[in-house]
Amino acid sequence: MPNQQHSTTITLPRGTLDLTYQTNSALDNDATYQLEDLLGFAQRINPKRAFLFVSKVLGRHIPVAPSNMRKAFTDLANLVPSDLPEPILVIGMAETAVGLSAGVHQALQTRYPNALLLNSTRHAQHNDDNSETLLTTFSEDHSHASQHLIYQSADKTTQKQLLASKTLIMVDDEASTGNTCVNVVTALREAGLHQLEQVHLTTLVDWSLNQNQDAADMEDTISTRLPNIDFYRHHLLSGAWQWTDAPNPEPITMPSVDTTEAGSQPLGNTGNWGRFPTLDSTDGFNNYLAKFQSAFTRFSGQAPFDKEQLPERILVLGSNEFVWLPFLLAEWLETQTQDSKPVATVKFSALTRSPIALGGAITTMLSFSDNYGLGMTNFAYNVDPSDWDLIVLCVETAADSVDDMWQGLDNVLVVSPSI
């Protein structure tokens, strides 16, 4: 039975967004997502694209319960077939989808235990022995920060498996034209992944029906651009969008956020959660959890750590690309509070370099200096500090790298690998 088509119009300050969409009948009934389950809408401060799809399950611009995020990760992973040629590489797009990719990868490992995870990054990695070597770079044309870096592994066995990959599962929050996917696959093949047979573009929402093309036409177009590759799409919701500019929109100036520099603040050791190829994305979590527990006992003035000390309203914030271990911490806190405080609320969100205008799905905005020492503005959206008993701000840099705005709030606990 074909999926029922729906349509709606979203009015934003710089224009209107006309959407047609349909749910995915391949999902179980209890896993079917409607548009309002997945997305809100806002205005980007970006002349390349004036609107933004704001995910309600990603934990990036809207705080989300970790259990809801986990469900979306797993539902998306369950759409990926079970008979894929191996080795398999799962790759996620910085910064928005690095937690999503890790969640999909972890769910896929129940069927593909040897699948590798690798995320793109915009943070240059350096060490003294020069082992952290770029595999390739690519461009995400419509993004506020278009340049991406992809690193190879210093471990010879892992690197050999990476180069032998036959299936690529590319994970992103949304897709439209497929340009980013083509750019990634082309860059990886030129970097030595010559044995790729299949590419699976795996997204929360797929807007590939854009420009009056049906899905088959879009797949044919991408397949033509990726010769000798079998191309597939998996998504929780699909549709098409059409943007119409408002008459005489106000000119906008986009902040400068397109950099892949390392920054003046060194990155602490948080294990390997995907900036380099890894089988185990949870590497480093136990140490980070211990850092949180130690920091919390000092924060609360009570030792040893006792979950009964946890307050009822907790927000965990990741920072830029460092979101996967913080998400696992939020998930752990959610289980702890469920046991001891049935009415407790734990949610997850993240700091970001993405400039978004107030309005629509963006009700509040905090702006502050980034903690990486890049000299750029960062943002936290839909976060009112007074709504939370405890805000756990998770960073991969030193605790004192965090902007004074956060340091000045008495309900903010900074968790850093240097604690």
Between CA 184 and CA 218 the distance in angstroms is 17
State the DSSP H helix or E strand holding residue 403, giving kind and residue range, or none if neither.
none
Give the ranges where 164-315 is alpha helix by DSSP (H).
179-190, 215-225, 285-300
Element (H, E) at 414: strand 412-415
CB 391 within 8 A of CB 369: no
Q: Which residue numbers in the chain have pLDDT < 50?
A: 1-2, 128-131, 142-145, 211-212
In terms of Cα–Cα distance, which of 75, 78, 153 is closest to 117?
153
> How far from chain centre, in Å, is Cα 411?
26
Whole-structure pTM value: 0.92
* CA angle 219–96–356, rounded 5-degree value: 110
Residue 281 burial by Cβ neighbours in a 10 Å radius (0-12, 13-18, 19+): buried
Sequence-distant (≥ 6) Cβ neighbours of residue 97 within 8 angstroms: 58, 119, 171, 172, 173
pLDDT for the residue numbered 145 = 46
Which among 78, 154, 153, 70 is positioned nearest to 116, based on CA atoms? 153
Q: How many CB atoms lie within 10 A of CB 386?
A: 6
The sign of the torsion formed by the CA atoms of 290, 295, 297, 300 equals negative
Q: What are phi and psi of 39, to 5 degrees?
A: -135, 145
- Residue 236: name the closest of 26, 24, 57 by CA: 24
Q: How many CB atoms lie within 10 A of CB 78?
A: 18
